[in-house]
Amino acid sequence: MSLSKLWMLAYRDLGRNRRRSILTLLSVSFGLALLIWMAGLIAGVLEDSLQNSIVFRTGHLQIRASSFEEDKLSLQSKDLLANTEDLTTRANALNEVKAAAPVLWAGVILDTLNDSASLQLYGIDTASPIYTPIQTSVVAGSFLTADDRDGILIGKLLADSLNIGAGQKVNLAIVNADGQPDEGTFTVRGLFSTGIPSYDQSSVFMPLSKAQAFTGVAGHASAIFILLKDQADTDKVAAALQGPGVSIVTWSSMNSLLINAIQAGMSFYVLLDGIVILIVAVIIANTLLMAVFERIREMGILAALGMKQRQIMQMFLLEAGILGLLGVIIGIVFGLGGVAYLATTGISIGDKMAAVAGNSFALGTTIYARFDTGQFAALSLATLFVILLAALYPARYAAHLEPVDALRS
């Protein structure tokens, strides 16, 4: 019997119990669509988290003194960079570098009449393009200028929690480079809102020169913060900037916790994919087994008329193939539609949830999906393959029925 005739028999057999066939088809479609939605959403969350961390926290590269330890935010001269102007000029001269600027970090406590908060101080070059995202996110007051001697910039979420606003004076307390406690009165020049609660609630900015004077580091900086035009050039630029007395730290090492969390999350996601695909495979196998039991006498007649075991097996595999292929096509359509919706509208998770997740992930208050065509194609092919694999047992069972026993059934 030709393959075309087997296709016709398989198609006709699926129409015998349309309700069962449609429900099976919908199960395949919904299962694949769900996998594509999850894949797109996870890809969006992970990519956005990493890029937010790079833009706002780590950069693609940092030049630091060899002895600097980020978790200590040391203000000792041995742990800081002294020749910041030369290093910044050298970095900006590279074609692959988008922008480079010195930054000074320190731990401070912001005090108001009624409350206080422990924050990270950023002494920044206010003219650098690196801080354009901060400048464009100012929602009240104004951005800092290089010659501002008493202005600071804080997050709107932090300001709201402390009940302060733009133009109000606050105290900043610090342990300076000499190891002595010090404090100063500053004016909240503006409020910013990047949409990343964990960042907006923990950061305070002031001009680099004022931060150096306030901390007593006399022209030193914690690091040279570097953004690249293309992330793929990280190793090339790192090699070009190597020099005595400094260490070059890349985005991958600075975001190692996030990357490890991504890898762990992807392992769980693969397990979840396997469970969903396995459920779909069981549904297909069950559908075909029911079809076999309903048509045992028919199988006996076909075998008695000369249909070979191989052809009977092919007929049931074709039935599974039709269900699987149609289900995959419908699932792709609905899955891509769902990803497109999530990529434009997103899902709001609120300030509190984003702040909690921000301990590991630099998440905004709204998460968006991303298109990952390679992942979507792999899921579709895996679903179709597992469906055909699950169909082997009922197809083999039908093919090995003895004609005499089948006719007596």
Listed in sequence order, the residues at least 6 apart from 121 whose beta carbon sits closer than 8 Å to its beta carbon are 104, 105, 106, 107, 108, 172, 174, 204, 205, 206, 211, 215
User: Domain check: are 375 and 268 in the same one?
Assistant: yes
- Give pTM, 2 decimals: 0.77
Report pLDDT digits (tens) over 207-228: 999 999 999 998 899 999 999 9
The confidence score (pLDDT) of residue 392 equals: 80
Report pLDDT digits (tens) over 21-44: 788 888 889 888 998 998 888 888
The confidence score (pLDDT) of residue 108 equals: 94
Percentage of the chain with pLDDT > 70?
Answer: 85
Tokens read off for 284: 């297909």
DSSP 392-409: HHHHHHHHT--HHHHHH-
* Confidence band for 7, pLDDT divided at 50, 70 and 90: low
Backbone dihedral angles phi then psi of residue 245, each to the nearest 5 degrees: 80, 0
Structural domain range at position 393: 3-53+258-408
Tokens read off for 385: 């393959």
Report pLDDT digits (tens) over 354-379: 555 555 567 677 788 889 888 889 88
Report pLDDT digits (tens) over 58-74: 999 999 998 888 777 88
User: Domain check: are 80 and 122 in the same one?
Assistant: yes
346 φψ region: left (φ > 0), alpha (ψ -120 to 50), beta (else) = left
The confidence score (pLDDT) of residue 28 equals: 86
Residue 135 lies in a domain: yes
* Confidence band for 124, pLDDT divided at 50, 70 and 90: very high
User: Domain check: are 16 and 95 in the same one?
Assistant: no
Report pLDDT digits (tens) over 284-311: 877 777 776 666 666 666 666 666 777 7
Based on the structure, what is the number of domains in the chain? 2
Backbone dihedral angles phi then psi of residue 166, each to the nearest 5 degrees: -60, 140
> Which of 143-147, 187-191, 350-354 bottoms out in mean pLDDT, i.e. has the lowest?
350-354
3-state secondary structure of 121: strand
User: Domain check: are 376 and 285 in the same one?
Assistant: yes
* Confidence band for 118, pLDDT divided at 50, 70 and 90: very high
Distance, in Å, from the CA atom of 75 to the CA atom of 408, rounded to the nearest integer, reads: 91
The confidence score (pLDDT) of residue 6 equals: 59
User: Domain check: are 154 and 77 in the same one?
Assistant: yes
Residue 285 lies in a domain: yes
